[in-house]
Amino acid sequence: MLCGVNSFAYKILYAEQFYKLYHSHFLAYPENINENILYLERALASPFVNPLNALTKIDTPEQWERYRHLFRMHVNLEMVKQYRLLASKYDKRNAYFFNYAFRDTNLKSLEMAEDYYNICLYYWREALEISGEISEMPYIHLRDIQYWEDEHYRIRTGDLNYQDIIQRDLDRLVSVREAFLAMDETTY
């Protein structure tokens, strides 16, 4: 016999609904990161809700247009963070001499990390492009999503530049890969 409580589900259709499923984990395991990536990808691919149900108050078509651009820019930035976090799970920061026994496994892990860092660059370029589009719009204050405006401002001023951050990650990864490739029985 089932519990006497009925539960009802509703279908998730809109970008904002998927975005609300995205959340931070106390411990970031790859399966949690992949879950967040799924929600964010679906948010980018889904239509927006009616302006009445947006994440901030929308009164004009101009506000609606700015909101949608800020939302897409912000979600792309969150994708960069999530993929970078996922890459860090496979990135070996150092090639220690005692890791020679696991050299091939570590090289494969570095390859996966490099792929994730390159995906980060894709989403960074998308966020950068959208931020450029936002710059061409007149500024309109949207109260509940000021953080997204702050991200846009930091991108425009160069204070937020994931290109540099990810490039440093990739450069370090190359040097670690070279150290692993240089290992042989004599270095162990």
What are the structure tokens assigned to 66, written together?
Answer: 């700015």
Please tell me the predicted confidence (pLDDT) of residue 136: 97
Provide CB contacts within 8 A for 29, sequence distance 6+. none
**Could you please report the per-residue DSSP string of 37-74?**
HHHHHHHHHSPPPPGGGSSS---SHHHHHHHHHHHHHH
Length of the chain: 188
> Which residues 6+ apart lie within 8 Å of 156 measured at CB?
131, 135
Alpha helices for the chain (secondary structure H): 15-21, 30-45, 61-90, 103-135, 146-157, 162-182
Distance CA 39, CA 45 (A): 10
Q: Quick one: tokens of 147?
A: 């953080």
- Judge whether 71 and 148 are in contact, CB under 8 Å: yes
Per-residue pLDDT of the chain (188 residues; tens, 9 = 90+): 455 566 667 788 899 999 999 987 777 788 889 999 999 999 999 999 999 999 999 999 999 999 999 999 999 999 999 999 999 999 988 888 888 888 999 999 999 999 999 999 999 999 999 999 999 999 999 999 999 999 999 999 999 999 999 999 999 999 999 999 988 887 76
What is the rounded CA–CA span in Å between residue 58 and residue 52? 7
Contact 44, 9 (CB under 8 A): no
